[in-house]
Structure 1
Amino acid sequence: MKSKYVILASALLISVATFAQKDQIKSAEKALKSGDAQGAITILKDAENMVVNAKDVEQAQYYFVKGNAYLDLANKKVEEGKNLSLAAESYKKLIDIEKASGKVKYSTQAATSITEIKGKLINAAIADTQSNKSIEGAKKLYDAYQLDKKDTINLYYAASTYVNAQDYDSALAAYEELKKLNYSGKGTSYTAVNKASGNEDGFNTANERDLAVKLGTHEKPKTEVIPSKRGEIYKNLALILVQKGRIEDAKKAVADARKTNPEDTSLILSEANLYLETKDFETYKKLVGEALQKEPNNADLIFNLGVISANAKNPVDAEKYYLKAIEINPNYSNAYLNLAALKLEAEKPIIDEMNKLGTSAKDMKRYDVLKAQRESVFRSVIPYLKKANELDPKNQDVSKTLLGVYKALEMTAEAKALKATM
């Protein structure tokens, strides 16, 4: 008889706890409605230990109110990123609970809120990166990915932003995840200009975009092919691994990627870049040759061969590659700049010899010869520097070098005109 009383007492305790929990959820809802989201969260935290034993419907209600409270704080810009993530976490828990129980009451609203949070996280991340808060932006992009793992582009952007923030450990983890997913990012974008806002809006399909244009809300439709991002992903993955001294891991990562995606030329370039970083120039040249067989008109590849030739003190080959890059792409500003730099290297031995000369008649005669040679070097680089300056007028290195050449040749009018644009 005594044991029955104990069971009855336990049942009463559970009942009292359940009522207390219900009251706390109602109190939290009331606080939230009155605008006190922080107060609602405090009330819910007091009920946190009891919610585990509550009925499914009460657990769902608890996480729904909790998610709403965190979202309200985020909307008020109170620790926005943190509270958006906490809100999403609460909503996901309630969706899991209702899915397991088969009783759906809050899931639809929660799913809508999660979509809203994802958009807010992405917009906040963009604002962070524009304010040079890359680490905060990267975290928000990664949280947006966690909310919707089908939208893998947010993981890609998170990885890139972690690199910009120099948080290489987080970047490595994100790139490793992209590697597991064999993410490419290749596709097609469909855009049109919104007549009301003037912004370029994206559409899921060409039909959706064309319908908006037909309805008159949008104009200037554009279709663009989005190239594979695998090359960039594996290049950055390899660079981080090399930086950490894990060179063999870097080589294996890129080699494995090439086996999985044999037709992706960008991966050959990533592997070539890895050997360039590790100063294995022979393997680099071999891989670049392989890539050139697939893309014989790739100006970047040919330009890089010019850089390697220059570093190897082979100016003849370097000039040949730079000129070939310009032939393929007449607007390749770096090729013009490097050509000028290559030719300017001929000035140093001339100056060294001039500085060693004395004042004898013989030396003065030699000085005049060397001076003419130096001026010839300067005149030879003017076309390249002028073109580089035309293509990239904001590049101070180009304009300063060109100005120095003009002054050395006493081209006063040209120097004055250039200086006015700097």
Structure 2
Amino acid sequence: MKSKYVLLASALLVSVSNFAQKDQIKAAEKSLKNGNSAEAVATLKQAESTIGSASDAEKAQYYFVKGNAHADLANKKMDAGKNFPEAAKAYQEVLSVEKKSGKSKYSDDAKTALTDMKNKLINAAVDAGNAKNYKEASGLLYQAYEVDKTDVEKLYYAANYAVNAQDFDQALTWYDELKKLNYSGEGTSYYAKNAVNDQEEFFGSNAAAKTDRDTKVRLKLYTNPRDEKVPSKRGEIYKNVALILVQQGKTEQAKKALAEAREANPDDTSIALTEANVYLELNDFATYKKLVTEVLAKSPNDADLVYNLGVIASKTDAVEAEKYYKRAIEIKPDYTNAYLNLAILKLDADKKIIDEMNKLGNSEKDNKRYEVLKKQRSDMFNSALPYLEKAYELDPKNEEVGTTLLNVYGALEMTDKKKALKAKMGK
């Protein structure tokens, strides 16, 4: 008789507990409706220890209200770094509980809230990045990744921003996570021109983006569809890891990391190129040239690869760099950056010439030297001019190219061309 009484008392306790949970969830909903999200969070905290024994319907309701409360606090900029992840975790619990139970009372709203939260985090990260608040931007992007772990690209950019913020330990942690996920970022980006304003728009880089773009082109809402191959980012990831390790004085670890990367990705030429770049940073020119030769032997007609070799060579050997840039143009005649970098190579001596000219006096000897330098400068501008004009022809919206070309026209006293270019650029 006594044991039955104990069981009955236990059942009554569970019942009372369930009523308390319902009351707490309702009270939290009321607080949230009245705009007091902090109070809602505090009320839900009281039900946290017993929510595991609640029904699936109550669990889903509890987590949905919790997600809304934390999201509201984050949107009000109240400890957003803590509240955004808490909200995301709660919404994900909603999806998990309702998927298991086979019901979906809150799932659609939870998905919408997660998408909205992710977009806000990304927009905030872009604003922070534009303001050069790189540490803040990296944290926001990592939160966006936490909201949607299928979007690994956000983790990649979070790590890159951490590098810009010189938060190298955090960057290494996130790069290691990318390596474990075997992230490459390789794919195709889909573009098309808006039929209304004739502006090219980016649709995305997945199958859904392609379908959306193709459908809108078929409906004649967009024109000129264009696909752009997105190269593997593995090389850049391993490069950044290696360069951080080199900066931290961990040279052997950097070499080992690159050797392991090459072993794991033998066909990824970007990693071999990265290894070459690191040896260049270490002033090991013999190993650098050996690796470059190996890379080029594997992909002699890869314009991007040849161009990258030009970028690396430009640090030490302008003649070699020019050879690579010209080869890249042979392979891909519309390679804008190759034309631009060729022009920059030609213009590289300008500062040195100007400095020497400024130091000259008014003696006959100095005047003769001045004329020699003036001729050298004119020849230099003339040699760069065709590459700049071609780069501008290929990419007339590129401000850097247009401004540099204006300066060259001015230096060569090509008044008519400078005036025409100014008009075209709206200056």
- Alignment TM class, shorter chain as reference: 0.7 to 0.9
Paired residue for 1:333?
340
SS of aligned partner of 1:25:
helix
Paired residue for 1:224?
228
Deviation of the 1:320 alpha carbon: 5.6
Paired residue for 2:201?
200
The whole-number CA distance in structure 1 between the counterparts of 2:113 and 2:344 is 52
Does the 8 Å contact 2:186/2:233 carry over to 1?
A: yes
Does the 8 Å contact 2:245/2:251 carry over to 1?
A: yes
Paired residue for 2:169?
169
The whole-number CA distance in structure 2 between the counterparts of 1:240 and 1:273 is 13
The whole-number CA distance in structure 2 between the counterparts of 1:249 and 1:237 is 10
- Encode CA deviations 1:137-187: one digit per residue, 9 max, x unaligned: 322322222333322222222222222232222221221122122222111
Of the structure 1 ranges 332-341 and 392-401, higher mean CA displacement relative to structure 2 is found in 392-401
The whole-number CA distance in structure 1 between the counterparts of 2:354 and 2:203 is 53
Deviation of the 1:274 alpha carbon: 1.0
The whole-number CA distance in structure 2 between the counterparts of 1:273 and 1:101 is 54
Taking the TM superposition and a 5 Å limit, the aligned residue runs for 1:69-218 are 69-75=69-75, 78-80=78-80, 82-99=82-99, 105-195=105-195, 200-202=201-203, 204=207, 206-218=210-222
SS of aligned partner of 2:227:
strand
Paired residue for 2:313?
305
SS of aligned partner of 1:332:
helix
Deviation of the 1:288 alpha carbon: 1.4
Does the 8 Å contact 1:337/1:388 carry over to 2?
A: no
The whole-number CA distance in structure 1 between the counterparts of 2:275 and 2:355 is 36
User: 1:252 and 2:253 equivalent?
Assistant: no
> Would the alpha carbon gap of residues 283 and 343 (structure 1) be closer, same or farther in structure 2, given more than 3 Å must change?
farther
SS of aligned partner of 1:308:
coil
The whole-number CA distance in structure 1 between the counterparts of 2:25 and 2:324 is 72
SS of aligned partner of 1:27:
helix
Taking the TM superposition and a 5 Å limit, the aligned residue runs for 1:235-250 are 235-250=239-254
Deviation of the 1:90 alpha carbon: 0.7
Does the 8 Å contact 1:326/1:336 carry over to 2?
A: no
Identity of aligned residues (%): 43
Does the 8 Å contact 1:303/1:335 carry over to 2?
A: no
The whole-number CA distance in structure 2 between the counterparts of 1:213 and 1:299 is 33
Aligned partner of 2:300 among 285, 295, 298: 295
Deviation of the 1:387 alpha carbon: 6.1
**Paired AA for residue 316 in structure 2:** I
Structure 2 length as normaliser, TM-score? 0.75
The whole-number CA distance in structure 2 between the counterparts of 1:102 and 1:200 is 39
Does the 8 Å contact 1:303/1:322 carry over to 2?
A: no
Deviation of the 1:244 alpha carbon: 2.2
SS of aligned partner of 2:183:
coil
How many residue pairs are counted as aligned between the two chains? 398
SS of aligned partner of 2:150:
coil
Of the structure 1 ranges 185-194 and 277-286, higher mean CA displacement relative to structure 2 is found in 185-194
Of the structure 1 ranges 331-340 and 274-283, higher mean CA displacement relative to structure 2 is found in 331-340
> Would the alpha carbon gap of residues 95 and 304 (structure 1) be closer, same or farther in structure 2, given more than 3 Å must change?
closer
Structure 1 length as normaliser, TM-score? 0.76
SS of aligned partner of 1:47:
helix
Deviation of the 1:251 alpha carbon: 1.9
Gaps of 5+ in 2: 330-335, 393-397
Deviation of the 1:24 alpha carbon: 1.0
Deviation of the 1:23 alpha carbon: 0.7
The whole-number CA distance in structure 2 between the counterparts of 1:273 and 1:17 is 64
**Paired AA for residue 307 in structure 1:** K
Taking the TM superposition and a 5 Å limit, the aligned residue runs for 1:17-28 are 17-28=17-28
Paired residue for 1:66?
66
Aligned-residue CA RMSD (Å): 4.2
> Would the alpha carbon gap of residues 324 and 217 (structure 1) be closer, same or farther in structure 2, given more than 3 Å must change?
closer
Gaps of 5+ in 1: 310-317
> Would the alpha carbon gap of residues 326 and 112 (structure 1) be closer, same or farther in structure 2, given more than 3 Å must change?
same
